[in-house]
Amino acid sequence: MLLATTTHYADWIVFLLAAVIAVAGSIGVVTSRHPVHSVLFLIQTLFGVAILFVAQGAHFLAAVQVIVYAGAIVVLFLFVIMLLGVDRAEARAADPFRGQRPLALLVGVIGLAEFGLLLRSTTWSTGAKSVAGPLSGPGSNVEKLGRSLFTTYLLPFEVTSALLVIAVVAAVILTKRPPPGEPGGDAENLDTVDAVEPVPAPSPTADDVKV
Amino acid sequence: MAESGTHRANARSAAVSVPGAWYLSVAAVLFTIGAVGLLVRRNILIMFMCVELMLNAVNLTFVTFARMLDDIGGQSLVFFVMVVAAAEVVVGLGIIVAIFRRRADATADDFHILKG
């Protein structure tokens, strides 16, 4: 009995800590002026969400969250920020659409209220049987997720490989510098008034984003 | 009524004592903050990070529902969302690099040059 209540409290403490970490990080992403600080806050949020994943038994997804998201995607963000030299504060005064920020906050409040109303619902599904298989039962989370991915979701899984290849090719083509003289080259800039010297061809290849 | 009863039993069998509604609340807050940030900020990179925030909130919702409904499908779907997010980040950052090469100090408002 004592053990049961102790684990109960531990669950709540873990949940509250992770929730505070995640929400504080997300607020930091939105409010910090410096893109690099935003990236660091994003890492904080990702780790908080990873803890929430672990607390709910999604061990494999928590690992992927930390390795792929915090390890690769965020590094890609940092790479781009550093390569482009855009690590300077944003001019907040320039607000081309007057009243956009109050309107955005209003939209946020309304959206949150709607989520709150939805959360008052007590039934979440029609009660139909699971297609992919149960989450509880014997076997580890990784085993069950792998079985689901390679049986029920085999075709989508294979399609994701095509998607990743397309993304890699797209990244290479998008960041390739066209030879001078050709249309789309640097020689004919659209808006050359305040265009500065182009940075040396950066190549944020997609190697970082292996899944 | 019987339905929610079985869901609660499943949640207990997963050995988690915090109700799913709490996780869903956190996900809702994260999603809202990401959406507001997307609307408020002008820096493209930070707007992109806000999109990632919203994706993560949805992932948390998927995992929570997978637990509440005792269904591995939710976690499988999170895997696919992560793959799509990785591809999206690669392509999006490629586009951002291509734009910044033309115009330094670009914000989202500078995309009016895309008009024909």
In this prediction, residue A14 carries a pLDDT of: 92
Q: Which of residues 77-116 of A touch B (CB under 8 A)?
A: 77, 80-81, 83-86, 90, 94, 96, 100-101, 103-105, 107-108, 111-112, 115-116
| pLDDT band for position B44 (cuts 50, 70, 90) | confident
More confident: B16 or A103: A103
In sequence order, which residues have a C-beta less than 8 Å from that of residue A148 and are 6 or more positions away?
A132, A133, B72, B73, B75, B76
Task: State yes or no: pLDDT of A193 exceeds 50.
Answer: no
Q: Which of B75, B72, B64 is nearest to A135 (CA)?
A: B72
> Which chain A residues are closer than 8 Å to B59 by Cβ?
49, 61, 65
In this prediction, residue B7 carries a pLDDT of: 44
What ipTM is given for this predicted complex? 0.83
Q: Rounded to whole angstroms, how far apart are CA atoms B96 and A50?
A: 28
Average per-residue pLDDT for chain A: 80
Measured distance between the N- and C-terminal CA atoms of chain B, rounded to whole angstroms: 57
Every domain of chain A and the residues it spans: 1-89, 141-211
Q: Say what the pTM is.
A: 0.80
pLDDT tens digits, A159-190: 999 999 999 999 999 888 777 666 554 544 44
In this prediction, residue B97 carries a pLDDT of: 85
Q: Rounded to whole angstroms, how far apart are CA atoms B69 and A158?
A: 26
pLDDT tens digits, A44-103: 999 999 999 999 989 999 999 999 988 889 999 998 888 887 656 565 555 667 778 888
Every domain of chain B and the residues it spans: 2-109
Q: Rounded to whole angstroms, how far apart are CA atoms A44 and A172?
A: 30
Q: Which CATH class is domain A1-89?
A: mainly alpha
In this prediction, residue A101 carries a pLDDT of: 83
Contact A130 B100 (CB under 8 A): no
Q: Which CATH class is domain B2-109?
A: mainly alpha
